[in-house]
Structure 1
Amino acid sequence: MRRGDVSSVELTTRMLDRIARFNPKINAIVTLAGDAALARARAADEARARGEWWGPFHGVPCTVKDTFEVAGVTTTAGLPTLKSHVPARDAVVVARLRRAGAVVLGKTNVPPAAADWQSYNEVFGVSNNPWDLARTPGGSTGGGAAALAAGLTYLEPGSDLGGSIRVPAHFCGVYGHKPTLGVVPLRGHIPPPPGTPPGPPPLLPVAGPLARSAADLRAALEALGGPDEEEARAYRWSLAPARGTRLADYRIGFVLDDPACRVSSDVREVHARATEALRRAGAKLEEGWPPGVSPAQQYDTYLYLLNSVFAFTLRDDQVEEMRRRAETQDGSYQAKQALAWTAPFKNYAVAVGRRNAARAVWQEYFRTHDAFLLPTAFVAAFPHDASPRMFDRRLATPEGARQYLDLLFWISFATLTGLPATTAPIGLTRDGLPVGVQIVGPYLEDATPIDVAGRLAEVIGGFTPPKGF
């Protein structure tokens, strides 16, 4: 673009043509801003002709998850109550993408309130995975991951509380980065509802990029990161350099499986091949959880805090019934939810203390290690399932049916501790479905897991497009 080999209008027109051709199959992009995108692309080309350069994404077409407000463009978060919501102001991530030169093509599909690992809603319908149209692209950034895999966009900002960046990246064979907690501002994201006054820093959720390469993730994070308006008066943020420049520089821990959430054999095979490729490339690998990490305890702490986020949905007339359910802690997800929704505040304070202790244990590990590899999810992309109760859904694996909510396990450790985590494609299952490894890095050292993802692509290959796209 900078050399003039291709213009923004050419790229944007190409993307709009591909959207017209391929999007009907996958329903990934649900609100198109074609005229505004072409006008912005023309302005980008005119600016370049004058010698002006807007930033690292000058004239590059991108899409935006439909949970981020875009000025003048319908933003629904998958909710019928917001089907006519047209914001007057950009979310922070959108404003920063524009400041970096990006051209916004439109909005991508999400589940209602971004609360599922599938992307379907009453407003726009179902999004399909371009690797297999009968399967989900994931959620909640499912439309964005599908659009990236299908070649309908170059970049997508997403958000992640329960794996909403990492799981779609894994299901669609693209790259996704969950940044260190607080690096990318969430103002302008739905939920919470539009117009909600700013509150204290969130404990778990983050915003971050999805792309088709690790290099694009890094460039996007540098554009998106940094404190919001009020905080920016007092401090600045810069991306710390990666700890290595080649795989042989890195000391990496890993686990391929855990009794608390067994990984499906077809997914585990792909992880094993990738780990062996890393070893052959010279990376120093150590198998096993970090000393002091109790996966079951950290997962329970994460579930407690995650469920606490949604306690506001409990109606007053349901409280007593929920308290009775909480009295029987049988290990089920329903019982854990009931406890988090009805227990006294001191239980929440204890959970926060455990979360802080978990981060300290991981940070101690990263004094001697540079990254930690683990699965993103125990299964690859699964067939669409619109049954209303998540508690009742089951996922098929070669070893038998599994609980749907087990999808929370492998993403929980980075979310609980606020650590950065990059999901990178590492190959296909025997059924031809993508698998992505999750690379957790040290606190505030996001460039390290992103760099490991890029180096990994050098030895096993990076993004590959699905057939037919």
Structure 2
Amino acid sequence: MAQVGPVHWAGQLNHEAFGGIMSSIIPSMLAFIHLYFDYFLDFLYGLYYNSKKKIVSASKDPILELSATEMARKIREGELKSEEVVLAHINRIKEVNGLLNAVIDERFDAALEEARRVDENIAKGVYAGRDFKQKIFLGVPFTTKGTTVCKGLDVSFGLVPRKGMKGTEDAKVVENMKNSGAILLALTNVPQLSIWSEAHNPVFGITNNPYDTTRNVGGSSGGECSIIAACGSAIGIGTDIGGSIRIPAYMCGLFGHKCSPTVTPTKGLTFRNGSEQDRTMVVAGPISRYCEDLIPGLKAILGADACRSLQLDKKVDIAKLKYYFIEEMPSLLISPVRSDVMKSFRSVVEHFRKMTGKAQELEIEELAYTARLYTKALANEGNDFSYDVTNKKYRAVWYRELFKYIFRCSNLSFSSVMVLINAQVLRKATSEWFEENTEKIKSELLSKLGNDGVLFFVSQPTTAHYHHLSYLRPYNLLYFSLFNLLKFPVTQVPLGLSHDGLPLGVQVVSAPFNDHLCLAVAQELESVFGGYVPPNSQA
């Protein structure tokens, strides 16, 4: 038997120590390289885009500065006419849409006629107090995204084979919003079938960010957020399966709420027929400039009965809540968080730490698996993107579509090709592994949040980046899609502007069916940090 002496043990200890040091140094080095590669990309894109930068003009009509809730109150009480409110928004859309390319179809004449009828009925005393309570947005104009079916408006979903097609009935969420008294103005731009983090498709082109037209507006409710941030719409309907409300709300400095699962009527959301409601990750929710519109917006969009489980009217003492935070996702696939984003995030944590005396940081190792977990969850939805993206003509194969795209003979956007590659090439998670690791993350968060806790989570590592840069940063959306995977409610909250005039923000998360906690904390954040800031404030 060989003798084990001091030199052998010293060598073993040195080897173990060296391994431990390298296991901590290598990820740090890779993160450092990733950060400065991102800066280099920004520099290159900036060389091309900076001379093209424009900021949307300031709104000159005070009506457009009101919240949807305040507009409704003034219309009810006779301080404003619905017709003048609707006309103000139509004029604003006409003023800014040439710069933004946010609105893709409209019903302006019909909306004005509906507004006149509202004014006539109010003048005649047709509406009683109970009617006003049910019609919480009576006479207020709204918009919705292009994958939410609206009668008489475009239903191409960004797909070339569907170009020119019109809806024959309203999606249930649009019907609900109309039942609240709101008046549909227009339809807004999306990526193909809503599956990407930038609003760009071959039918309508790309939507620009009102804070800087060279920047990504987010997706998939990108056109929706762009026109709301530019004061062309009072409130909008968004849908969210991987961040589609929160990504553009963040990039456009708005409030948006992704609600708890099973309460969203899915009929008319792209190809969905309504049977998916209890099993899908997709939810609908309001997008607005002001936090006070979120609760009435949820009631209007989802319906009062559906909203009861969200506890929207339950009083919340924010000083008694438990607060947690996670600063960064533990994945080298994702860009490191920039300093201005981290500074605003930490200011939020510090505010609540001072208020309550504590805010606990969480570390969950399984978050490193979010990319594979979310891809599996998306596959579990049961939709066949490869079939849907051709308008159900054939099943697209990634290498054929890539070849056609290179030679400019594909009907698909490059983002759709990337989605095909992700679905058809990358390694799939097994159902057992998916369930095990999803449950670990969910259980860890539920044990902390309970019914009286909220989690602060970075919205995205950077502010709104240049157009098409999302192709080189596809995994940054995992900051948002994590909570679709978990089916947790989240409120996206604006936190003012960065040094270069781009929106900052934070996600406020709670356990399922505790939406009221997110919304109460969002209200506090708006009062402390100022909420929505117009695009031209630093122009």
Please, what TM-score do these two structures have when normalized by structure 2?
0.73
Contact kept? 1:226, 1:237, Cα under 8 Å? no
2: CA distance between counterparts of 1:112 and 1:181?
Answer: 24
Give the structure 2 partner of residue 203 of structure 1.
280
Instruction: Name the residue aligned to 2:294.
Output: 217
- What are the Cα deviations for residues 83-127 of structure 1, in whole angstroms up to 9, with x where unaligned? 222122110110000000001001011111111111122221211
Shift of residue 342 of structure 1?
6.4
**CA contact 1:32–1:105 (8 Å) conserved in 2:** yes
Q: 2:500 aligns with which of 423, 431, 455?
A: 431
CA 1:299–1:366: 2 relative to 1, 3 Å: farther
Matched, 1:80 2:160: yes
Aligned counterpart for 1:25 among listed residues 78, 99, 116: 99
Tell me the residue number matched to 2:121: 47
Question: 2:108 corresponds to which residue?
Answer: 34
Mean alpha-carbon deviation: is it higher for 356-365 or for 235-244?
Answer: 235-244
- State the partner residue of 1:359: 442
Go from structure 1 to structure 2 and tell me whether the alpha carbon gap of 1:460 and 1:159 turns closer, same or farther (over 3 Å shift).
Answer: same
CA distance in 1, matches of 2:219, 2:492: 14
- What whole-Å deviation, never above 9, does each CA across 1:279-331 have from its counterpart, x for those lacking one? 34x145423226x673124553223222555665288896999xxxxxxxxxx
Aligned residue number for residue 325 of structure 1: none
Which structure has the greater CA radius of gyration?
A: 2
* Deviation at residue 383 of structure 1 after TM alignment: 0.9
Q: What letter is aligned with 2:322?
A: R
Aligned with 2:431 (options 331, 338, 348):
348
3-state DSSP of counterpart to 2:479: coil
| Contact 2:246/2:257 (<8 A) preserved | yes
- Specify the alignment match of 1:324 in structure 2: none
* Alignment correspondent of 1:138: 218
CA separation of 1:255 and 1:302: change in aligned 2, threshold 3 A: same
CA–CA distance in 2 between the matches of 1:164 and 1:320?
27
User: 1:294-443 maps to which residues of 2 (within 5 A)?
Assistant: 294-307=366-379, 309=381, 313=386, 337-338=423-424, 347-348=430-431, 350-352=433-435, 354-367=437-450, 369-385=452-468, 393-394=471-472, 404-443=473-512
Partner of 2:188: 108
Distance across 1 between alignment mates of 2:395 and 2:337: 39
**8 A contact 2:208–2:215 mirrored in 1:** yes
Equivalent residue for 1:174?
254
Q: Report the Cα offset of residue 161 of structure 1.
A: 1.3
- C-alpha distance in structure 2 between counterparts of 1:334 and 1:216, whole Å: 37
Structure 1 residues 284 and 299, CA gap change in structure 2 (3 angstroms):
farther
| Cα distance, 1:134–1:407 mapped onto 2, change above 3 Å | same
Distance 1:270 1:71 in 2: 42
Segment of structure 1 superposing worse, 51-60 or 175-184: 51-60
Any idea what SS the aligned residue of 2:461 has?
A: coil
Q: 1:185 to 1:293 in 2, by over 3 A?
A: farther
The amino acid of 2:289's aligned partner reads: R
Tell me the number of residue pairs that the alignment of Structure 1 and Structure 2 aligns: 431
Instruction: Specify the SS of the correspondent of 1:42.
Output: helix
The DSSP-based 3-state class of the residue aligned with 1:409 is helix
State the secondary structure of the residue aligned to 2:494: strand
**Contact 1:304 1:337 (C-alpha < 8 Å) held by counterparts:** no
Counterpart secondary structure, 1:411: helix
Contact residue 62 and residue 154 of structure 1 kept, 8 A: yes
Displacement of 1:197 in angstroms is 7.5
**1:248 paired residue among 302, 313, 319:** 319
CA contact (8 A) 2:309 2:513 kept: no
> C-alpha offsets along residues 38-96 of structure 1, whole Å, 9 cap, x if unaligned?
01111211222224136110000000111111112222212222222212211011000
Offset, 1:182: 1.7
Q: Any stretches of 5+ residues in structure 2 without a counterpart?
A: 1-74, 388-393, 401-417
